[in-house]
């Protein structure tokens, strides 16, 4: 047994990966790792958590999950001083401090630091919204977005701005707010060259470039990676969203809008607002 363990250990130090998964074509250094990997392709989840009832395919995944039920956070990030319950979560967190984005979306070309972030992003390219908010009945594409949305219904504002003392419900809103305190203006308008601190200000500014009787999108890049849109219409008010509209009439009764850029094509649609 000792000799087998030594051999297995030596294989982990090697760059050679002789064991191939016939399902996803990934390669592994040790046969036992391949066996565990093959389990992840199945649907059987025999390992159940005694605290919350969740079931897992691998016992090792259950062990990592059990740590989330404890309060102790022994793993500290030396960059931002945050603490984590599991070492693997700390490792993923450390990647977020870097600039390397190796995981690319095949639909829109966006790149991400973590594979999990890419997986969550891929859901945004589908039309199905299976996760419903029981408070306002809105539907969302993935569970993470729903969880973030539920926070906005609460009154708790744990994220404080150290500059002005304001509190925010979400950390990402605090981050956007902190930009307003700085001088850096990274978001540039491709039409007139003006620069803005938050991206939301740029989106609001883009509306000013809309003209009446505009029948096609303003294409800034010929590969459709940058298209100028105007905000969507809801109850005769302009609200910024991911899909923007071009106004044809000032009373907003007739609108020509451009759909979300998908597979490098800008799709034109027409709509009459009540």
Q: What is the 3-state secondary structure (H, E, C) of 58-123?
A: CHHHHHHHHHCCCCCCCEECCCCCCEECCHHHHHHHHHHCCCCCCEECCCCCCEECCHHHHHHHHH
**Residue linked to tokens 């109850």:** 235
> Tell me, what's the pLDDT at 268?
35
- pLDDT, position 78: 92
Q: What distance in Å separates the CA atoms of residue 26 and residue 21, rounded to the nearest whole number? A: 5
Domain boundaries defined on the chain = 2-67, 203-272
pLDDT tens, position by position, 127-169: 788 888 999 888 888 888 888 889 889 999 988 999 899 999 8
The predicted structure's pLDDT at residue 233: 35
- Could you tell me the CATH superfamily of domain 2-67? Classic Zinc Finger (3.30.160.60)
User: Which of the residues in the chain have pLDDT under 50?
Assistant: 210-274
Kindly report, residue by residue over 226-248, the tens digit of the pLDDT: 333 333 333 223 333 333 433 33
> Residue 49: what are its φ and ψ, rounded to 5°?
-80, 125
Question: Is 17 in contact with 37 (CB distance < 8 Å)?
Answer: no
In contact, 237 and 226? CB cutoff 8 Å:
no
pLDDT at 269: 35
Q: Is 266 helix (H, G, I), strand (E, B) or coil?
A: coil
């Amino acid at each position: 047994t000792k000799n087998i363990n030594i051999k297995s250990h030596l294989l982990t130090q090697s760059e050679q990966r002789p064991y191939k998964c016939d399902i996803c074509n990934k390669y592994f250094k040790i046969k036992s790792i391949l066996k565990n990997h093959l389990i992840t392709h199945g649907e059987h989840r025999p390992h159940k958590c005694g605290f919350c009832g969740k079931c897992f395919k691998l016992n090792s995944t259950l062990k990592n999950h059990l740590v989330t039920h404890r309060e102790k956070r022994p793993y500290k990030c030396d960059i931002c001083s945050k603490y984590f319950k599991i070492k693997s979560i700390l490792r993923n967190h450390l990647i977020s401090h870097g600039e390397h984005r190796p995981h690319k979306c095949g639909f829109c070309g966006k790149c991400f630091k973590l594979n999990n972030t890419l997986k969550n992003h891929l859901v945004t390219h589908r039309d199905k919204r299976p996760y419903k908010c029981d408070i306002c009945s809105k539907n969302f594409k993935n569970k993470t977005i729903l969880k973030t949305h539920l926070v906005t219904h609460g009154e708790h504002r744990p994220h404080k701005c150290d500059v002005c003392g304001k509190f925010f419900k979400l950390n990402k809103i605090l981050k956007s707010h902190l930009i307003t305190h700085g001088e850096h203006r990274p978001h540039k308008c491709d039409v007139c060259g003006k620069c803005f601190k938050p991206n939301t200000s740029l989106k609001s500014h883009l509306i000013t470039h809309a003209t009446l009787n505009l029948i096609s999108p303003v294409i800034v890049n010929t590969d459709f990676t940058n298209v100028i849109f105007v905000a969507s219409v809801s109850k005769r008010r302009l609200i910024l969203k991911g899909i923007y509209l071009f106004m044809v009439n000032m009373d907003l009764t007739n609108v020509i809008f451009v759909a979300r850029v998908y597979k490098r094509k800008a799709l034109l649609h027409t709509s009459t607002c009540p």
